[in-house]
Amino acid sequence: MQDEFERLYENYHHSLFQYLFYMVRDKEAAEELVQEVYIKVFHSFQTFEGKSSEKTWLYSIARHVGIDWIRKQNRKKRKWLGLIGPLSKEDIRDPSPLPDEIVSTKDEVKIVYEAMEDCTPDQRQVLVLRYVEALSIKEAAEILGWSESKVKTTQHRAVKKLKDILVQNKEVTERRAEQ
Amino acid sequence: MTKRYSRSSDEQIKQKLQQLPQIRDNRTKEEVYQNIVKKTDNRANKRRPRKWVIPTLTTAAAFLLLLVLLPNMISTPKQFTADEDSNSIEKRQAGENSTENITEQEEDADNNVEKPARSEQEESDITISEQEEESVEETQIHEEPAVDVEDEDPIYDNYVTALTENDIEQGEKAVTIPLQDVETSVIVPLTFVISENQEALEAFEELTEEYTGEDVGLDPSALQHIDWDYAEEEESPLEVEFEEDLSEASSNESEMIVRSLEESMRYLGETEVILEQNGTEGIELGNYGVLDRYKIDQENRGYYVYTNENRSFLVSGSGANISSTNENGELLTFHETLEHMKSTGENSSVDASIPENMTIEGVHEEQDLARVIFSKDSHLSENNNGRLMVEAVLFAAADFGFERVSFEGENLGEAQGYKLNAPIDVPVAPNQIKN
């Protein structure tokens, strides 16, 4: 197992970790989750045979792992908040501390990172796979289990969504500056 | 230089996305590897599904199943027939299945069920009212061929055998998921062997979501959009979270979900689960209304044979919608259950698992051992049918709390894969799907 681990680590660790981070937006969680990916590879009933590429197969395992985590987090939060009072959308989003890399990046990029929060999970997936991980439409489609046209439409909507958010934010900032 | 956000083009957004910083895992490769090894070891020792142990029936006490199961329990064969007919009318309306039915016709030639003639009908275009008239005639006509065909028991060449303890190697374990045949409303449990190190509940969830059943001619599980979770406290029931809104589910859909849930619990070794939606207890499920818990207290089910185009499987009585009570609403005894396994209703989607020619003279219950005594002239078929019967009886016994069964009879013969001269351990689970 160790040899296999080494091979996977050398080829994919960095990408999978980064992918998981941008999906769950929590560095500590990403550390745990990337380990889960290896565990699944070694101990799952699923094998690589018959899949189109090892890379997209690993990414799709990471995607499942990430989605599971997000779901469980949301459930926990809803449960906990359920005891206190009605939920508002913001309550569910629990901002974990921004990693240094984000904090020290350009403002305009930071703003995009924050704006991604308002995209739907599907939209976020596409944005991360296509622009952060620099995967092709075909690869993204394989990982997500979607048609290529669905990837394209979702990508288009995601970019538009970001644009709208950024424009909104800019207008708000400008109005405040004027006052 | 003003940044022109208000007129950001798509390109600018994409560029910014591409400028998102690289986020690195600061741990060493060795650290990550050690963590993985540690976690894997921990998981191997984690909470395992409890063995399915149901107390043997002592009295005909009222069962503590939720009200939702009562409609199923009370349904008489007559009612079942009516449902079947209305289902077939819907099928004709949809007009989808004409090709399938032609194959069914060929397959069912040996079976004493009414399917062949029904499918002939389905090829013609008839209005609903005409269909209603004809379905009555149909039942009458079928009575004749059924009598003739009864001479021969069907041969289950493609029986999907059970997973026995011997089939499991070191470092492996079993997980069983409930798939379904939507058309006939039968729940079919399928068993897979997985690594010991994989978490049972996780594997259950994953398999339910991923395995479509296509290659064995079944439909995906009714429980695909469900999250299973251990509760915070060790001894609390599992939490089952429904992701979809099922308030508008049809009665058939809701029933399939409830029955699939029950089937799952049996193989997960759970007798109670908490049902949740949106993080709170209680789900709205079609005309069942709001359910917050699902509990199974006593369970006695026989096992029957379900055959589709590809294969034959063992299904439980509840999976096949067969009652486990007698006319007085009392739960059947083990012996009575075995007797029921010798025949199914004319319009049943499943077949008997114990051939008519096998006469059970008595059943003796000796703690964890059930002794099934067959008459002198009872003889097992040499083909797969013998194995199928043995496994069906073993699983029926398991549901009554037995761990072993001895098959006793002067001329029993042999069953493939089993030595009948000594008590046989109950197998792990039915219908093993091998990769």
Contacts of A131 (CB under 8 A, 6+ apart): B14, B17, B18, B20
CB count in 10 Å sphere of residue A116: 21
Q: What is the dihedral of CA B413, B419, B424, B425, to 10 degrees?
A: -140
- In this structure, the answer to whether residues A102 and A92 fall within a common structural domain is no
**pLDDT given for residue B70 in this prediction:** 53
DSSP state of A131: I
Cα separation, A89 vs B10, whole angstroms: 27
A51 and A138 in a single domain? The answer is: no
Please check whether residues A116 and A84 belong to one and the same domain: no
CATH of the domain at A117: 1.10.10.10
Confidence of residue B112 (pLDDT cuts 50, 70, 90): very low
Question: What was the pLDDT predicted at A93?
Answer: 52
Residue A71, both tokens: 């779901």
3-state secondary structure (DSSP) of residue B423:
coil
Ramachandran sector of residue B306 (left: φ over 0; alpha: ψ -120 to 50; beta: rest): beta
pLDDT higher than threshold 80 for residue B25: yes
**Mean per-residue pLDDT of chain B:** 76
How confident is residue A80, by pLDDT bands cut at 50, 70 and 90?
Answer: low
Contact A105 B192 (CB under 8 A): no
A69 φ, ψ (degrees, to nearest 5): -65, -45
Residues A85 and A12 reside in one and the same domain: yes
Instruction: Give the per-residue pLDDT at A13.
Output: 96
State CA B170 to chain mean position distance.
27
Q: Where are the alpha helices (DSSP H) in B173-320?
A: 200-210, 251-268
The answer to whether the Cβ–Cβ distance between A109 and B280 falls below 8 Å is no
Task: Look at residue A88 in the predicted model and tell me its pLDDT.
Answer: 47
> Beta B312-316 vs B303-307: how paired, if at all?
antiparallel
Q: Are residues A125 and A163 in the same domain?
A: yes
Strand partners, B363: B372
Is the distance from CB of B386 to CB of B416 less than 8 angstroms?
yes
The rounded distance, in Å, linking the Cα atoms of B122 and B100 is: 11
| Cα–Cα nearest to A127, from A22, A53, A55, A24 | A22
Check whether residue A75 and residue A106 sit in a common domain: no
Write out pLDDT tens, residues B223-256.
998 888 887 777 788 889 888 888 888 888 888 9
Give the distance from CA B299 to its chain's centroid. 14
Domain positions in chain B are 165-295, 317-425
Q: Chain B partners of A127 at a C-beta cutoff of 8 Å?
A: 17
Distances (CA, A) of B76 to A78, B115, B328: 43, 21, 12
Which residue, among B1, B9, B25, would best test binding to A if mutated, counting the most A CBs under 10 Å from its CB?
B25
**Tens-place pLDDT, residues A101-116:** 888 888 888 889 999 9
The minimal CB distance from A132 to the residues B6, B17, B33 is found for B17
Domain end residue (candidates: A44, A62, A96) = A96
DSSP state for residue B351 in the 8-state scheme? B
The tens digit of pLDDT for each residue in B264-287 reads 998 888 888 999 887 788 888 887
Chain B residues whose beta carbon lies within 8 Å of the beta carbon of residue A74: 279
Query: Which residues on adjacent β-strands are paired with residue B229?
Result: B239
Last residue of a domain, one of A96, A116, A134: A96
Mean pLDDT, rounded, for A58-70: 87
CB contact under 8 A, A163 and B279: no
Cα of B159 vs its chain's centroid, Å:
15
The DSSP-derived string for B114-173 is SHHHHHHHHTS---HHHHHHHHHHHHHHHHHHHHHHTTS----TTB-PPBPGGGPPTTEE
Supply the DSSP symbol for B273.
E
Closest CA to B9 of A138, A82, A162, A125: A162
Chain A residues lying within 8 Å of B33, measured CB to CB: 2, 5, 9
What tokens were used for A117?
Answer: 């929060």
Report yes or no: B114 and B142 within 8 Å, Cβ to Cβ.
yes
Same domain for A129 and A83, yes or no, is no
The size of the A-B interface in CB pairs under 8 A is 133
Q: Are residues A33 and A53 in the same domain?
A: yes
Question: What single-letter amino acid sits at B138?
Answer: E
Q: Cβ contacts (< 8 Å) between B282 and chain A: which residues?
A: none
Per residue in B289-329, pLDDT tens?
A: 888 888 886 666 899 999 988 799 999 988 888 877 777 77
Of A71, A101, A163, the CB nearest to B22: A101
Q: pLDDT confidence of A72, banded at 50, 70, 90?
A: confident
Q: How many folded domains does chain A comprise?
A: 2
The domain that holds A59 is classified in CATH as: 1.10.1740.10
Q: pLDDT confidence of A82, banded at 50, 70, 90?
A: low
For residues B81 and B156, the model is more confident at B156
More confident: B97 or A15: A15
More confident residue, B162 or B382: B162
Q: Are residues A88 and A26 in the same domain?
A: yes
Rounded Cα distance between A50 and B171, Å, is 25
Nearest to A109 among B20, B207, B280 (CB): B20
The predicted structure's pLDDT at residue B174: 92
Residues A115 and A58 in one domain: no
Q: Note down the domain range covering A165.
A: 98-179
Q: Is the pLDDT of residue B54 over 70?
A: no
For A167, the closest of B6, B193, B279 (CB atoms) is B6
Q: Residues of B near A (CB-CB distance < 8 A)?
A: 3, 5-6, 8, 10, 13-14, 16-25, 27, 29, 32-33, 35-36, 39-40, 43, 192-195, 197-198, 203, 206-207, 210, 227, 229, 241, 276, 278-280, 435
Residue with tokens 């709390």: B401
Residue with tokens 């405040």: A176
Of B48-62, B166-180, B416-430, the range with the lowest mean pLDDT is B48-62
Contacts of A95 (CB under 8 A, 6+ apart): none
- In the prediction, which pLDDT does A68 show? 80
pLDDT at B180: 94
Under 8 Å CB-to-CB from A20, ≥6 apart: which residues? A29, A30, A33, A34, A37, A62, A65, A66
Write phi, then psi, for B147 (nearest 5 degrees): -60, -45
The answer on A71 and A25 residing in a single domain is yes
A44 lies in the same domain as A22: yes
